[in-house]
Amino acid sequence: MPEAGFLAAVVLSMPGSIVEPINNSTDVRVNPIVRFNYFSNPGDVERCVNGTRKIGDVLRSRSMEDFKFREWFGGRDFRYVGPALPVDQSNDRLMGEFCRRTVSTIWHYHGGCLVGKVVDRNFRVIGIDALRVVDGSIFTLSPGTNPQATLLMLGRYVGMKILRERMR
């Protein structure tokens, strides 16, 4: 069998942890600074640990044997991009540390600019004039695993709304 690969990841589509803006500069030359607050909500850690354990269960299943590589001394195992899963997956502390050590924001970002907390009902950033946020960060609930169509429609809706406001 030719070498094959796969990707397994835990994705918290609706984390309880909320992004916190650190600076509110209106100067476009100043990079925004935010604190992501990963896993500040204990429920997020628990969900990550449970999801990571599920990945471990799948990797130990017989159907995944064909994806293992031969090792130098005759054994077979997976090749990981990044750290391997903890050996003792029953240990909550180790699993939580693994989640914290490997956390990443590489997927479609949701929920960082919650309506009513970061932006108002018209998607204006609270406390900053003439700036709106119209992307996946304003979603309180994920529209699904690929939000592009929803974002395109939302962008058009808000764009048309801005044009109507300017015509008054």
Catalytic residues: 108
Query: What would the 3-class secondary structure string for the chain be?
Result: CCCCCCCCCCCCCCCCCCCEECCCCCCCCCCCCEECCCCCCHHHHHHHHHHHHHHHHHHCCHHHHHHCEECCCCCEECCCCCCCCCCCCCCHHHHHHHHHHHCCCCCCCCCCCCECCCECCCCEECCCCCCECCCHHHCCCCCCCCCHHHHHHHHHHHHHHHHHHHHC
Q: Taking a C-beta distance cutoff of 8 angstroms, is the pair 89, 127 a contact?
A: no
Q: Taking a C-beta distance cutoff of 8 angstroms, is the pair 20, 37 a contact?
A: yes
In Å, how far are 56, 142, 150 from 145, measured between CA atoms?
22, 8, 11
